[in-house]
Structure 1
């Protein structure tokens, strides 16, 4: 019996450069990273380290300058923009610091949005959105507008929206950055529960106490991975 976890994503020799006039700024310098199903990974690093750039590449919001990236059996560098958008919608659920809920839609309608893009019918959309709002304990606030909800409630709506398409990965970019300590802990406990249920989570955070919820920590400095607790060693 093979109990080895399934490889979910693999990045090899990933670089990212930007041009400013005649100068080239290299933000990522040959990143190698493999993530397996069911991991809870925290990516840390100082401002300007490249962690947000790496997160954008993982989330298919940006393309690397060089290197290869495989996600759920897709060779990302070979995909068109249309194909990328489809893989992004099917495989990745996003949770951001600022929630990004549409102010004119209630909680239920916000959670339905990814299902609309996926072409799911109205009745099934409604049922799935209700199911996931119940999962994040917002069943009684389905018809509330974002302006009627606290920061923690809005982040729960965002998590329900991220989950509703049953993606392979939840990408959480500073998910507690706009929340107080008590609410931050509640959101992290929810993400921990989702991970324990089998969901793969990759999170960017600059807060060590938030990173402690993850089972694997990666530190990036100057565009390179300098520590990965999977290896239990510092990379020089």
Structure 2
């Protein structure tokens, strides 16, 4: 398995008045291409900070982060933005769709930042909305969509630039159980197609869909279990 992500002695601390709050403490982690990883842990454990570090939305205080062999710290702001846009797709619990744009326009957004021509943007956006089974909702505003449909739009948006990594932060947190299961089955399908998926969740039944489960407590990795198979029936 080709190594995709390598974190070496990653620390992240924040200044809280006169106190320094250590959120991540010497994290060492390697994730291979095509893995499906769940990062678990109680509130305040550092799991979201770890996710944001992997997604280059947060900068470590110390340590080294390599993405496909390239040290992230050596990238300038413009290069970082380009890597985030082209190599990483983000899926969030609250969807973060623009309310005045319909589904297809929301999916087009990463393509606009990537400089893709308008006609090609529309074609790709429609293609990926079809992939998540929303062909009949492409011109609906977010307010006209259910929670599950909003998350499918968000997944289509995350996929449209064909990134190698999907980062999903509590992707089922705002959904009912049945809809959450449908979203997880979609993520499993994407993983089977070769996407590397890294997901933060606090729900064991959601983490069970992943092939590898990492538990983080008090800023350190307390367990890391790779499983031969994904969700058990």
The answer to whether the superposition gives a TM-score over 0.5 is yes
3-state SS of 1:229 partner = strand
Q: 1:231 to 1:17 in 2, by over 3 A?
A: farther
2:54 is the counterpart of 1:58: yes
Is residue 126 of structure 1 aligned with residue 122 of structure 2?
Answer: yes
| Equivalent of 1:209 in 205, 210, 224 | 205
2:34 is aligned with 1:38: yes
| Structure 1 position 231, deviation (Å) | 9.0
1:187 aligns with 2:183: yes
Stretches of structure 2 lacking an aligned partner (at least 5 in a row): 229-233
Deviation at 1:189, TM superposition (A): 0.4
Answering whether residue 28 of structure 2 is matched by residue 16 of structure 1, we say no
Structure 1: give runs of 5+ residues left out of the alignment. none
Distance 2:24 2:77 in 1: 22
- Find the counterpart in structure 2 of residue 79 from structure 1: 75
Note if 1:108 corresponds to 2:99: no
Give yes or no for contact 2:212–2:227 (8 Å, CA) kept in 1. no
**Residue 73 of structure 1: how far off its partner (Å):** 3.2
Cα shift readout 1:118-151 (whole Å, capped 9, x = no counterpart): 0001111111101100000001111111111000
Secondary structure at the aligned position of 1:95 is classed as strand
For the residue of structure 1 that corresponds to 2:7, the secondary structure is strand
Among 157, 171, 174, the alignment partner of 1:161 is 157
**What CA distance in whole angstroms lies between the structure 2 residues aligned with 1:182 and 1:188?**
10
Map of 1:200 onto structure 2 = 196
> Would you say how many aligned residue pairs link Structure 1 and Structure 2?
228
Name the CA distance, whole Å, in 2 between partners of 1:29 and 1:81.
25
Q: Which residue of 2 aligns with 1:93?
A: 89
Query: Is 1:171 aligned with 2:163?
Result: no
What's the RMSD between the two structures over aligned residues? 1.1
**Which of the residues 136, 155, 180 maps onto 2:132?**
136
Residue matched to 2:231: none
CA distance in 2 between counterparts of 1:7 and 1:16 reads: 23
| Greater mean alpha carbon deviation, residues 31-40 or residues 65-74 | 65-74
TM-score in terms of structure 2 length = 0.96
* Range with greater deviation from structure 2 (47-56 or 72-81): 72-81
**TM-score of the pair, normalised by structure 1:** 0.95
Instruction: Give the match's secondary structure for 2:50.
Output: helix
* CA deviation profile, 1:149-190 (whole Å, cap 9, x unmatched): 000000000000000001110000000000000000000000
Runs of 4+ in 1 over 6 A off after TM superposition: none
Instruction: Give the conservation status (yes or no) of the 8 Å contact 2:93–2:169.
Output: yes
